Amino acid sequence: MNDSKDEKQEINLLMVGDVVGRAGRHALRHWLPILRREFSLDLIVVNGENAAGGIGISNSVMREIFAAGADVITSGNHIWKFKEIFPSLQENPRLLRPHNYPEGAPGSGLIVVGVAGGLRIAVLNLLGRVFMGMVDCPFRVADHALSTLPLKQEVDAILVDFHAEATSEKMAMAHYLDGRVSAVLGTHTHVPTSDHRILAKGTAAMTDIGMTGPYDSIIGMQTAGVLQGILSGLPTRFEPAEGDVTLCGAILQVDRNNGLCRSITPLRRGGLLSATP
């Protein structure tokens, strides 16, 4: 990726999976500057869904993630945890909430970011409906959003963060948008999948890019509290785990000529999971 010829032909993007708590934020501060240099990244997108105490995102945490090197922060169903973030969604367009919340919700789930070389990169944040909540159809909302941003006419690349529970819904979205966006990357389930691939029409897909948090846990939470809740059936307070953190995500190489993906590489650095090259 560091070859000068490749830099002229490709847009290099990084999407980082759900950041969990203080430990996950610490990993961002360490790894993002290193990764930006190593992969000559044009844009870094971070899902901050669980960055504040394991659920939601606060104003101070938002600022911390941007300071660590994120260009755009995406989110999901926990974006409304802290009311203080509502005005920030209006004031900072680089902080996204899922675009398919009903009309009247503060903020937006779509942004176009200008990067070096005059490139324009769109980031679209969507929320699934299967096992989730009452939101507008993410497929129809994606259609409407993309109707104003045709690939290689209005923007040079389009990255979709699809925050969803069901693997089938994530796969369906990837196929539905194949050829219309650069990549559809799944978040929310906190477990990295091994199905990264380029679909028939050139869109990269991965069901879940994993979490950025301690994997000696239960999806980022201390095991004792989660097990107590499972075994007793009673309400239990979950606490974010500490310890060694694995930063998980995906590196994308997008063809500057057509906005479609040339390669997708899972990224794992630090912590307990085996590191990727």
What's the pLDDT tens digit per position in 18-44? 999 999 999 999 999 999 999 999 999
Contact at 8 Å (CB) between 63 and 95? no
Residue written as token pair 């929320």? 127
Contact at 8 Å (CB) between 115 and 155? no
Distance CA 128, CA 83 (A): 22
Is the pLDDT at 5 greater than 80? The verdict is no
What's the pLDDT tens digit per position in 225-234? 999 999 999 9
Is the pLDDT at 3 greater than 50? The verdict is no
Binned at pLDDT 50, 70 and 90, residue 91 comes out as: very high
Handedness of CA 131, 134, 135, 140 (dihedral sign): positive
Distance CA 32, CA 14 (A): 10
Residue 259's contacts (CB-CB under 8 Å, 6 or more residues apart) are 151, 152, 155, 156, 157, 158, 182
Active site residue 30: no
Distance CA 73, CA 109 (A): 10
What's the pLDDT tens digit per position in 141-161? 999 999 999 999 999 999 999
E strands, the chain, in order: 10-16, 43-47, 72-74, 110-115, 119-127, 157-163, 183-187, 197-198, 204-206, 213-214, 245-255, 261-269
Q: What percent of the chain has pLDDT over 90?
A: 92
Give the pLDDT confidence score for residue 8 in this predicted structure: 59
Domains along the sequence of the chain with CATH: 4-269 (3.60.21.10)
Distance CA 96, CA 117 (A): 24
Average pLDDT, integer, range 232-242: 91
Distance CA 110, CA 94 (A): 9
What's the pLDDT tens digit per position in 176-187? 999 999 999 999
Give the pLDDT confidence score for residue 227 in this predicted structure: 94
Q: What percent of the chain has pLDDT over 70?
A: 97
Distance CA 160, CA 140 (A): 14
Handedness of CA 271, 198, 252, 178 (dihedral sign): negative
Is the pLDDT at 78 greater than 90? The verdict is yes
Q: What is the DSSP string of 6-50?
A: HHHHEEEEEEE--BBHHHHHHHHHHHHHHHHHHTT-SEEEEE-TB
Residue written as token pair 């879940």? 208
Which member of 78, 99, 163, 196 is catalytic? 78
